[in-house]
Chains A and B, each alone.
Chain A
Amino acid sequence: MTMHMADALLSPAVGTTMWAGTVGTIAYCSRKLQGNIDEKMIPVMGVSGAFLFAAQMINFTIPGTGSSGHLGGGMLLAVLLGPYAALLVMGSILTIQALFFADGGLLALGSNIWNLAVYPCFIAYPLIYRPLTRNDGSPARITIASVTSVVAGLQLGALSVVLQTVLSGRSELPFGTFLLMMLPIHLAIGLVEGIVTAGVINYVKAARPEILESVDQSRPLSAGVRVRNIALVFLGFAIVTGGMLSWFASANPDGLEWSIEKILGKPELGRQDGGMASALKSVQEKTAILPEYDFRKSEGAAEGAGDGKGEQTWPVAAPGRSASGIIGSFIVLAAVLCVGFVLRALRRKTEGGR
């Protein structure tokens, strides 16, 4: 799974904003389900999650390439369980992957649920899959619908990974290059996954049509609900991105300038006097959580005035201080390791004494 966002690439602003969006969606889905269903849904959802987890481990060979693929499954769950239950189940699977397999990490979990579950369940399923299969549930129709919706969901997820990475400003990959890297790969993955998803849906439909029918009946995504549903997703999206950008502006103006520069390819934009940049700066000065940030930065810049990147660099970069930095690093690491060994030795001793 190449698409899992990672903690190491995220800035706190982007990470927490995506968490806020994800928690909001989970709460919305839970409320929606709690009103509509009986408690039987709890075991059904739980065991379906375990099912998808196991199914993700099964490999199959992709014809003509010799490589092997496996299932992602967001769209499959949306069709088999309905979008609300599917979102919660996907969220749970990603939580377990984050905790036990360190896939992504805890801060990135919010972004991962958003990228891999919200798009298939609330954009691709209601906007593409449902309209395409509404009047005609033939196998061919289901195949077309699931391939297009899986591809769309994955493309949105990939785009979202790129945006989160670029806005966080930890990677140097330019927006365009990164996008060109991600989108074609996920187009190919989407095509394969779409075909497999369609196969499983058709299989279940042929063997037990009542399972799919009950999804249709118990969670009617009829006109009224659907419009409100989608409006809500987009509203949430607007709030999330708005919040992300404004938080960014107050906490990390460098990052914002950097990313705008990368996206628009106009270095001048960030350096304008007056206008947005200075407004952001004054906001930042007023709301700075860590005033020492600036203190340290100016100290570093002053001492490192000799080198070329004086403005942007940190104390670590000042050549005059690199020797003391390396000495300090070794001492700190040695001290940390000593603490570990001493504690371990003490523990052995107390356990031995018992």
Chain B
Amino acid sequence: MTFDREYFNLGVLDILSCKDTCIHRLDPRTKVIATLLFIIAVVSFPKYEIMGLLPFFLFPVLVFSLGDIPVWLILKKVLLVSSFAAFIGIFNPVFDTAPMVTVSGVAISGGWVSFLSIVLRFFLTMTSVLLLIATTSFPGICHALRRLGMPELFTSQLLFLYRYIFVLLEEAMRMVRARNMRSFRGKGQGARVFVSLVGTLFLRTMDRAERIYQAMLSRGFTGTMRFVRTYRFRATDFALLTVVAAVLYLFRVCDIVGTIGRQTERIF
């Protein structure tokens, strides 16, 4: 059943984001901007690039170890994610069959090279997003989005959505369990029951929103969401962001893998 998995997924990343390491202590804005820069640098390589992507693995490795994030947990999520990218990428070897590289006598077509490149990009970008949320709490990211200029209405209801996902998931889980227990030989699993299930869930949701609003009003809600924890963009954040940008630029522009390989060959 997908419910338990989704519920677990949300919960486990939320718990990880409560840790207190040097990565977790950074301003959320620093992490959001750094992740975006990283993704853009990775994605900007031309489609046959493989070697240039390898040095970029340094960034997730650093975050994994400095942020004390369990590697297998994140890797499992990346590998299990239903991937549109891999599905589309697997067509590359079909359409691009011109041989491109020869590795010890075996010719490899351009399609396989570009497919491998897509897989590496997929791995790097997905890992970076999951690491972002595992080291920055969701409220932290909302805070960052607000301070980076997203409209307040959007970030406020984003926070709300996150807060009530767990409540609504539990409610829907109970309704689905009730449906499954009352349906025999597949009867009652069809669209008709589904429609009244979702309709009822929506009506309950509206009632809940009304109650929540009344409760907020009686506690002095004026239309803005307040954050208990305040973040400050410190000099370390600025320095770190500069270093990250510089290293990303270096990795993007220099042929590091090729240089190391040639130097090693020269030595032996």
Binding site for B on A (CB under 8 A): 1-12, 15-16, 23, 26-27, 30-31, 33-34, 39-51, 53-55, 57-63, 68, 71, 80, 88-89, 91-93, 95-96, 98-107, 165, 169-174, 178, 192, 195-196, 199-200, 203-204, 207-208, 211, 254, 290, 292, 296, 307-309, 312-317, 319, 321-329, 331-333, 336-337, 339-341, 343-344, 347
Contact = CB atoms under 8 A, between A and B. Distances in A.
The 7 closest A-B pairs by CB, nearest first: A46-B160, A328-B261, A203-B199, A199-B195, A30-B151, A324-B261, A60-B194
B202 A332 contact: no
Nearest to A211: B206
B239 interface: no
Given A61-B190, A316-B51, A6 B157 contact: no
Contact of B157 (A45, A104, A317, A344): A45
B48 to A, nearest CB: 5
A322 B160 contact: no
Contacts of B126: 7, 102, 105
Interface of B: 2-3, 6, 9-10, 13, 35-36, 39-40, 42-44, 46-52, 54-55, 57-58, 61-62, 64-66, 68, 77-78, 81-85, 87-89, 91-92, 94-96, 98-103, 110-111, 113-114, 117-119, 121-122, 125-126, 128-130, 132-133, 138, 141, 150-154, 156-165, 167-169, 171-172, 175-176, 186, 189-203, 205-206, 208-209, 212-213, 216, 221-223, 225, 252-253, 255-262, 264-265
A339 B255 contact: no
Contact of A322 (B102, B212, B253): B102
9 contacts: A6-B88, A6-B122, A33-B153, A307-B100, A314-B49, A321-B261, A324-B264, A325-B257, A343-B62
Given A54-B168, A309-B100, A336-B57, A42 B160 contact: yes
B84 A55 contact: no
B213 A43 contact: yes
Contacts of A91: 154
B10 to A, nearest CB: 6
A262 B221 CA distance: 55
Given A8-B85, A53-B168, A340-B65, 16 more contacts: A11-B43, A42-B225, A43-B213, A45-B161, A46-B161, A47-B161, A57-B172, A96-B165, A101-B6, A102-B77, A107-B125, A165-B88, A171-B118, A196-B198, A204-B203, A317-B113
